[in-house]
Amino acid sequence: MKFDLATFKQVKLANSATFLQPQFNAATCSCDNAVLEAHYTVLFTALEKPNSFEIKEILVDVVYGSTDKTDACKSANHY
């Protein structure tokens, strides 16, 4: 999932199974595909030994964002 931080709207991704490469533009101080959040789900199976388990799978939901705020580098509260 990806959000445009200027409009606060979700942006459709062409392939949600591919990690996006962040793109920083130093001239405008904007950033595209910045990771805003990551949500992890760990699937496991309990083993017979107490307090032990086997990890079967780890799933990650990544939330990306885009900024086009041209004064972000000058602001003390840039994002």
Q: What is the pLDDT of residue 78?
A: 52
Q: What is the pLDDT of residue 76?
A: 58
CA angle 75, 22, 65 (to 5 degrees): 65
Phi and psi for 36 in degrees, rounded to 5?
Answer: -95, -40
Which residues does 79 contact at the CB level (< 8 Å), separation at least 6?
Answer: 5, 67, 69, 72
Per-residue pLDDT 10s for the chain (79 aa) are 787 777 777 877 777 777 888 898 888 778 888 888 899 999 999 999 999 999 999 998 888 888 776 565 766 555 5
The beta-strand segments (E) located in the chain are 2-4, 9-11, 23-25, 30-46, 53-67
